[in-house]
Amino acid sequence: MIKVIGFDLDGTLAGEEFDKIIWNEEIPKLYAKKNKLSIEDAKTKVYADYFKAKYIENVPEWTNIEYWFKRFGLENGWNKLLEDVKGKIYLYSETVKVLKKLSKYKRVIVSNSHPHFLSMKLKIEGLSQYFNEIISTPTFHHKKKSKHLFKDLLGHWGIKPEEMAFVGNDYEEDYENPSAVGIHAFFLDREKKEKGDNIVCDLNEFVEKVRGIQKTVKPQKSMWSAGGKLALKEILEDLRDESA
């Protein structure tokens, strides 16, 4: 029986343009201006530093924009940049509908996004109201969505792996790692390049998969015993959801 449904955020619930513009365009632009470089040279330098921070220096704060403004000595406030670009944040067309359909579950976001970015994105279309908990891996003492993180989360909620479903658009972090610890994980491939039982092309398809898992869990007792009443309640909720 599924109890918790987890979602990645960027590329899953919301588009990724906001992050791309900030990291790939705006920060190099500010860096170029400060150091009087061409935009191409600034990009080379800035991208190399991102790589170094993540893979060589193991900077725990490597997704924190405040850290990068300090490291690069940029004068304009990071808050102002986020404000200027916030118009680029959007949710996918099916996001809110799907979250409403799954309202009987505990719904959570598990994202590598730093809280400075998360708080901005959660305001769009009132996204935060659909979630019981938001996990930002950097503040949960993890650098990314590793197997270890998913094990910690199961412990945090006191659930078994088979009681959780998860979906996201990163093959390793959102699919392989949660799958490896026994979570019902699904890879979201919006471009429809991949095929398989655990691959979905949008969130509506993910809802179908969750329902499929629930249907394979048979009620243990007769419909009319104490446990049976619970089973009946589940069936009625499913009927309501199907017609939503």
As given in the structure block, the two tokens for residue 158 are 């006191």
Alpha-carbon 86 to chain mean position: 18
Interaction with Mg ion in 11-30: which residues (CB under 5 A)?
11
Smallest distance, Å, CB 28 to Mg ion?
22
| Binding residue for Mg ion, selected from 2, 4, 8, 69, defined by CB under 5 A | 8
Angle at 226 between CA 242 and CA 240, to 5 degrees: 10
Mark residue 217 as left, alpha or beta (left: phi above 0; alpha: psi -120 to 50; beta: remaining).
beta
Interaction with Mg ion in 88-127: which residues (CB under 5 A)?
none
Interaction with Mg ion in 204-233: which residues (CB under 5 A)?
none
Smallest distance, Å, CB 115 to Mg ion?
17
Complex with Mg ion: residue 16 or 162, whichever CB lies closer: 16
Residue nearest to Mg ion as judged by C-beta position: 11
**DSSP letter string, 151-218:** HHHHHHHT--GGGEEEEES-IIIIIIHHHHTT-EEEEE-TT----STTEESSHHHHHHHHHHHHHHS-
| Binding residue for Mg ion, selected from 2, 10, 99, 121, defined by CB under 5 A | 10
Smallest distance, Å, CB 159 to Mg ion?
23
Give yes or no for a contact between 14 and 92, defined as CB atoms under 8 angstroms apart.
Answer: yes
Interaction with Mg ion in 61-80: which residues (CB under 5 A)?
none
Stretch that binds Mg ion, among 5-13, 55-63, 91-99, 157-165 (CB under 5 A): 5-13
Residues in the interface with Mg ion (CB under 5 A) total: 4
Neighbours of 36 (CB within 10 A): 8
* Closest by Cα among 176, 165, 180 to 211: 165
Smallest distance, Å, CB 109 to Mg ion?
11
Interaction with Mg ion in 152-181: which residues (CB under 5 A)?
169
Give yes or no for a contact between 45 and 147, defined as CB atoms under 8 angstroms apart.
Answer: no
The CA distance from 70 to 187, in Å, is 36
Complex with Mg ion: residue 11 or 115, whichever CB lies closer: 11
Complex with Mg ion: residue 30 or 170, whichever CB lies closer: 170
Complex with Mg ion: residue 19 or 49, whichever CB lies closer: 19
Smallest distance, Å, CB 111 to Mg ion?
8
Q: Which residues bind Mg ion (CB under 5 A)?
A: 8, 10-11, 169
